[in-house]
Chains A and B, each alone.
Chain A
Amino acid sequence: MHIPDGFVPPSVSIAGYAITGGVTWYSLRQISRERNPQEKIPKASLLTAAFFVASLIHIPIPPTSIHLVLNGIMGAILGYYAFPAIAIGLFFQAALFQHGGLSTLGINAVVMGIPALLAYHLFQLRDPALRVLPHRFSTQQQKRWTKILAFGAGAGALGLSAIIFTVVIITNLSPDIDAQTERNAIYLSLIGYGIQAVLEGIFTVMLISFIEKVKPELLK
């Protein structure tokens, strides 16, 4: 789900870079408000590398196999570091594997990164609900609430990325495709991505429950 070099008009590339610049600036400002912002740099960097590597895991779905995007859980774990982390991950994918590209780095970061930030805010809802109303929630309910949010973060982030990606690429690919064909192509690819979004959501739930059991501090 990366837009390669040369696929979209320059205006889209430039707009992508502008939005990425703005969001990065905002994320960095939020990060610098923390008590010791440098402390989290190694954590964010190694997890960026880990997510990059984890997205290489291929999950067999006969007759083919897919790889996971994981931008929802990146948001949930990395918080505001997720946006720079995704931009860096995309940079390496462009530089090392030629997935995506340098001129489209900005727009690709928007496609993947903004849903990740939204997923972060969605997953954050876990805390206030538990803090404000601790007596209302049994442990069982807390677990279920976390699972629902994890699913929403995982599936929602991927779904939103898929929507932005599909709309950007199909409306910009060629001025000569007629509107009806465009619409059909968008619907068709969204059905495919919908299935993947559900899978990604389930995977995120499993991953979050695993981390919660083994290393809960990672989700703090």
Chain B
Amino acid sequence: MKLFLDRYAHLDSPIHRWEQSYKLVGLLGLIFAFAFIQKLVLLPIIIVITSIIFILSGLPLSFLLSRLRYPGLFILAVVIFLPFVAGNTVILSWSWLSLKQEGLLTSLLISVRFFCILTVSLVLFGTAPFLNTMKAIRTLGLPETIVDMTILTYRYLEELGEMLFTMQRAMKLRGFQPKNINRRNLKIFAQLAGSLLIRSYEKSQRVYQAMILRGYGYNLDRLPKKSKQFKAKKQNLLATTVILIIALSLIVAEVLLPENIL
């Protein structure tokens, strides 16, 4: 299991240079503004904003496309299904199937919103090493316990993924090739999951001992509140302000535009 979330974090672009804590505030604001959009007139605008951010970030298009493959199925199901069940205005009718305007427009709205939010969050996490993102989140005041848990989970995700694959390979080599579900197969899967949990538990005890030996838990109060890395630079603040103003104007536009404009 290769995660590759920050595979392109080493590139150099305006978005990469934008410090992660500022970027986090700005882009999260934008993501919520996108989620707020209900009017179709605003869709071209958010597509343009998203494209500008993506192009500025210098991430390769193939990276975005490879990320879009996973979530596709559910979205596709809803987007295909909705135009036939929602609404009253029939545009096209074909025996018992009828394509309806409202459903079609809702599908369009949902898929564009989804695509834009996904692209922006990819830029947010893809343009800085993951640890920097976590440091940024910590400076924004997320509880220590949660930040520690997130970092440790991230640290061991890949390793435990490897462990699972090794065990599954071993099962296969011993001839376990389940074609259907029955009591025996399900039990073997339960034992597989159980072994994984127990091995991680035992590992966590060793990790904890190693962590206390290195002084974990004794320096929390002595850490400086804000690390030097996130010292405010004018450009960072400016970029975040601009993005937040854009986000706010989107929300204002959404609220002020008359209902009948779609």
Contacts and interface: CB of A to CB of B under 8 A. Distances in A.
Interface stretch (B8-16, B173-181, B240-248): B173-181
Given A7-B78, A59-B186, A176-B102, A49 B87 contact: no
A62 B180 contact: yes
Contacts of B1: 53, 56
Contacts of B216: 38
Identify whether the interface residues of A are mostly helix, strand, loop, or mixed. helix
Contacts of A89: 153
A60 B180 CA distance: 6
Interface stretch (A97-105, A118-126, A129-137): A97-105
Interface residues of A, number: 69
B164 interface: yes
Contacts of A56: 1, 161, 164
Contacts of A31: 145
Given A45-B148, A84-B146, A53 B31 contact: no
B145 A84 contact: yes
Contacts of A48: 149, 153
A117 B230 CA distance: 37
A6 B102 contact: no
Contacts of B204: 42-43, 45-47
B180 A61 contact: yes
Interface string B42-56: 000000000000000
Interface of B: 1, 3, 5, 28, 31-32, 34-36, 38, 67-68, 70-71, 74-75, 78, 82, 85-88, 100, 102-103, 106, 109-118, 121-122, 124-125, 143, 145-146, 148-150, 152-154, 156-157, 160-161, 163-164, 168, 178-181, 185-187, 189-194, 196-205, 207-208, 211, 216-217
| Closest 7 pairs between A and B when the two form their complex, measured CB to CB | A6-B113, A45-B152, A206-B190, A5-B117, A50-B200, A46-B204, A6-B114
